[in-house]
């Protein structure tokens, strides 16, 4: 059952990267870009949380060799996921910052 945490983490990590890419390529008339960016960041956070849960499971069953074998890879993969997700969402913000109407602005 706990093996699903790793699969869920991978799926959510891919979702965290796909959503901002879709946002960037659908740059015309995309009014819900902020919602998709928040979903992307949320998927990244939940993905990292799943890895924390899996590491906690390994500690509970005292599988120290599995922890020693995988801890560095988990840290590197989590760091890459976080950095790329943030960069993609920053790129999305840069693309849309001048296209979103401001509150109180009048259209001419």
pLDDT digit string (tens) for 52-84? 999 999 999 999 999 999 999 999 999 999 999
**With contact defined as beta carbons under 8 Å apart, do 24 and 95 qualify?**
yes
For residue 47, tell me if it sits in a domain. Answer: yes
Range of the domain at 36: 3-96
- Domain tally, the chain: 1
The pLDDT of residue 2 is: 83
Half-sphere exposure of 32 (CA within 13 A, CB side): 6
The pLDDT of residue 31 is: 80
Q: Tell me what the mean pLDDT of segment 8-25 comes to.
A: 95
For residues 30 and 100, which has the higher predicted lDDT (pLDDT)?
30
For residue 34, tell me if it sits in a domain. Answer: yes
On average, the pLDDT of the chain sits at 90
**What H or E segment, with its residue span, contains residue 17?**
helix 3-25
For residue 101, tell me if it sits in a domain. Answer: no
For residue 105, tell me if it sits in a domain. Answer: no
pTM assigned to the model: 0.85
Calpha distance 20→87 (Å, rounded)? 9
């Amino acid at each position: 059952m706990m093996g699903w945490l790793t699969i869920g983490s991978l799926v959510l990590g891919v979702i965290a990267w796909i959503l901002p890419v879709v946002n960037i390529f659908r740059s015309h008339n995309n009014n819900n870009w902020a919602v998709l960016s928040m979903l992307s960041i949320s998927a990244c956070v939940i993905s990292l949380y799943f890895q924390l849960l899996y590491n906690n499971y390994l500690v509970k069953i005292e599988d120290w060799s599995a922890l020693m074998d995988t801890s560095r890879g988990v840290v590197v993969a989590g760091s890459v996921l976080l950095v790329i997700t943030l960069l993609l969402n920053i790129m999305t913000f840069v693309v849309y910052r001048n296209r979103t109407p401001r509150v109180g602005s009048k259209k001419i």
